[in-house]
Structures are given as structure tokens and as C-alpha cells.
Amino acid sequence: MTTKEKLLYRYEEIRRLVVNSYVWKSVFRHGYRDNPRNRILMVASNVFMHLHPSKVRRHGIKISYTWCAGGLTFLIFLVTVVTGVILMFYYRPVSEYAYIDMKYLEFDIPFGMIMRNMHRWAAHSMVIMVMLHMFRVFMTGSYKPPREFNWVIGVVLLVLTFLLSFTGYLLPWDQLSIWAVTVGTNMARATPLLGSEGPLAEQVRALTGGVVATPRYDARSLLTAGTIVSAPTLLRFYVLHCIFIPIAAAVLMIVHFWRVRKDGGISGPL
Ligand code: HEM
């Protein structure tokens, strides 16, 4: 056997080991070969080519079973997206303007007050709904195999929902939001490894020559873009709130819904 053949053989061995592992199979359930007979199966197993399930079981649409909590969380997310985009037309994430823009939006712009309040109440409801949804999923034991990966995606969605709420809280740029975010970001000092006052910070400082895990370069300064909550923090939170976190949440929601189908639809009553 030549060296090239040996390498190819080794590669195939490793590929089979990974593809046949439990973790791989719990994430990617299908590995159809591309031939004319399998093509419909490939389409049906792709979230973008085949968005809606071909059949739904009776309990899957029963309100008393799901409380429609996941569906309502998604609906409320859409409300925050639509109202949020409208608010973006009138809000500037600059310390000189943010507060007056918010006041102008509330008292001068037609329908501004209802848009702001719809966004705010939808955001609060989303936090409540996602927790109710998680509670339902837990109580019906829907986190058990084969749905364990979807539970993990759900946990990330929960964290993203909290982060959306937290980053949005700073944007009115009033005393309440500035001090609430000061308190919130202060907690990041205690992050393990990366917080300047967190566990193992001393070791990280020693390893990086006293650069990382210091008040200037730690988990907290990464959030606040400085050593205190100030104008750069507002811009950073704005970009995170309007772009990064919503896109990450939307992508994960697509995967979440796709997994519900691939895991055999909504779990059955116990
Ligand atoms: C933005 C957040 C979320 C959205 C929009 C969402 C949406 C949904 C939807 C629409 C369903 C279909 C069934 C239903 O409505 O109950 C579902 C199912 C599921 N969700 Fe979520 N979810 C979110 C967060 C979470 C969280 C935080 C968890 C748990 C940590 C979770 C775990 C699951 C699981 C395991 C299922 C399958 C349930 C079953 O088969 O009975 N989801 N989700």
C-alpha cells in the first residue's frame, strides 16, 4: 500500500468513527447518498427545502398538552422584531441623542408610544413565555432521547432571550438603565478564568503576563467596551441587541423547529 493509500484508509477509518458516534447521530440523523432514489429523502430532511411537516399527530396541536408555549414565544419574538425595526428608524445609539430620541418617539411621533410599549411588553412576555415553555417541556419529559439535542438548543435560546432583554434594557439611556446595567455587568467580574475577580483569574494573569483577566481586559470590559458603562457601551449593546443576538436566535429557532420534526414531531402524552 502506498503512503497516499494508507492516509486515505486512515481518513476513512476516522470518518466512520465520527459519523457512527452517538454524538454525531444525535445531531445529524440522516446521511442519504446522492442518487435519484434518495433525492426526495434528502429534500424532505432539509429544513429549507421542506419547511412544513407532511403530517402532525393529534396531541401535537392540543393546547392542554403544549400550552402552545413554544409557538407563542416565537410569535412574540416576531412582534419584537417588527416593532424593533420600526423603533430603529427613530433611535440613535449615541449618548447625546439616545434619551431624547426615546422621549421624542414616545410623545411626538405618531404611533410612537404604542410601538415602544408593544416592543417592551412583547419583550417581557417573551421572557415569561420561554420559561413557561421550558417548564412544559420538562414536565412532559420531552427532554429525553431522542430530543436531548433540542433541549440543548433550547437552553442556548433561553440564554439568548435573556441577553436580548439585558442589552435592550440599556438603550433608553436613562438613570434606571445605566445603573441596572452597571450592576449587571459588574457580575461579569466574577466569570471563571476571564473575570478579573473570578476563580482562576490569578493563574490566567500569570499565564498572559498580566494582560488578560485584569479590570481593563476581562469579561466585564468586553461587555462595557471600557472600564465603566459609558457611550461605547451603548453602541456595543445596540449592535448586539439589534443585529448579533436576534440573528443568532433566529437561526437557532429554525434549527429548533426542524429538530422537533426530525425527532418524530411533538412528544406524545406520558
Ligand atoms: C426562543 C425560545 C424558544 C422558542 C421560540 C421555542 C419554540 C418551540 C416550539 C414552537 C416547539 C413546538 C412545541 C411547542 O410549542 O411546545 C418547541 C418544542 C421544544 N422545545 Fe422549544 N422553544 C424555545 C426555547 C426552548 C427552551 C428554553 C427549551 C428547553 C431548554 C426548549 C426545548 C424544547 C423541546 C425539547 C421541544 C420538543 C418538545 C416536544 O417534543 O414535546 N425550547 N419549541
pTM, two decimals, is 0.84
For residues 234 and 181, the answer to whether their CB atoms sit within 8 Å is: no
Quick one: pLDDT at residue 61? 85
Mutate to test the pocket of ligand 1, among 133, 140, 147 (most ligand atoms within 8 A of CB): 133
Candidates 158, 165, 153; CA nearest to 251 is: 153
Quick one: pLDDT at residue 193? 95
Q: Name the residue with cell 417588527.
A: 82
Say yes or no: CB of residue 123 within 6 Å of ligand 1: no
Q: Which residues of the chain have pLDDT under 50?
A: none
Q: Which three cell numbers stand for residue 3?
A: 503512503
Which residue, judged by its Cα, is nearest atom 31 of ligand 1? 154
Q: Which three cell numbers stand for residue 107?
A: 410623545
Say yes or no: CB of residue 267 within 6 Å of ligand 1: yes
Quick one: pLDDT at residue 54? 63
Which residue, judged by its Cα, is nearest atom 42 of ligand 1? 154
Quick one: pLDDT at residue 177? 97
CATH superfamily of 65-262: Cytochrome Bc1 Complex; Chain C (1.20.810.10)
Ligand 1 centroid to Cα of residue 266, in Å, is 9
Q: Which three cell numbers stand for residue 82?
A: 417588527
Report domain extents, the chain. 65-262
Alpha helices in 20-111 (DSSP H): 22-27, 39-44, 63-66, 69-88, 98-107
Q: Could you give the CA distance from residue 255 to residue 100 in angstroms, rounded to a whole number?
A: 39
